[in-house]
Amino acid sequence: MQIGIIGLGRMGGNIAVRLTRHGHDVVLYDRSADVVEKTHDRAEAGHAVKADSVADLVSKITAARKIVWVMLPAGEITEAAVQELAGLLGRDDIVIDGGNTYYKDDIRRAHQLAEKGIHYVDVGTSGGVWGLERGYCMMYGGTKDATDHIDPILKALAPGKGDVERTSGRDRAGLDPRAEEGYLHCGPAGSGHFVKMVHNGIEYGMMQAFAEGFDVMKSKNSETLPADQRFDLNMADIAEVWRRGSVVASWLLDLTADAMAKSESLGEFSGQVADSGEGRWTIEAAIEENVPVPVMTAALFTRFRSRTGNNYAEKVLSAMRFGFGGHVEKK
């Protein structure tokens, strides 16, 4: 298939390259011509075309049904791109937002584009800077017509079954087989980003639990404790042993172990931990639904506090964010 991609940053560029590796044709645009050039150079020969504007990108998509994937930061820049595409695309064309857009904005945009006969698909995309090789876990919302049409694109980006042990009971009627491939049609427009939003809220809580646990262990050698209760524990070795058969083994722990193996003190990280919005939105949704989410709320507030003074726990959080998403929070 042929698809245009707007925004070739850490994830957008890798998405474009992965698609060309699976035989799809991409039209590339980014506001930085240098980034376009570099992405084009990484793409499989003969499967990528450069564009110098959004309008140029649309004009170079020759498929009867144009597909454009927007991979930009949530907010005004994505809104502007979608509105520009609304004036350039035609009936039955498809706009995909693969960023971390607020799901209520997706619902509004889907209604707006539907008036022009244009389909809108929101794709919550998880995989960070590792997605090029590992594939991307995707949760998406939109009409069945549009999502069925772009299925070959999503299948190419997804990790596939790989060597993950199959969950018992998956043969039960009503379960979507695509979930085992790493991508899932969640429902109408907005539902994909809603599920990804909650995913990120959970991620906040998981990261916070790891960070606090390592902080407790790091502080066990404190001079405030009786001498016989002080332990000089090696954080890098503990992270590594937990990776091997522990019930808390996970990719987040893998990233933590990797960072600590390089520098147990994590001194290169400031510990001033950013939040990209999804944690806040998850808590807002919980308030609307009268659902208590104390762990995620505490994790978000801890990120706020980290910007006014931090400890080892926040450095662990920074190391994990850098590991999975390339988020730079170094000194």
Residue 75 per-residue DSSP state: T
- Which of 44, 79, 155, 196 is the catalytic position? 196
* 203 noted as active-site residue: yes
Tell me the residue ranges of DSSP E strands in the chain: 2-6, 25-29, 48-50, 67-70, 94-97, 119-126, 137-141, 183-187
137-141 and 119-126 beta bridge pairing: antiparallel
183-187 and 2-6 beta bridge pairing: unpaired
- Which of 181, 203, 212, 329 is the catalytic position? 203
3-state secondary structure 104-125: HHHHHHHHHHHCCCCEEEEEEE
* 330 noted as active-site residue: no
179: left (phi over 0), alpha (psi -120 to 50) or beta: alpha
Look at the block and give the residue holding tokens 């695509």.
178
Q: What backbone phi and psi angles, to 5 degrees, belong to 267?
A: -65, -20
Q: Active-site residues: which are they?
A: 196, 203
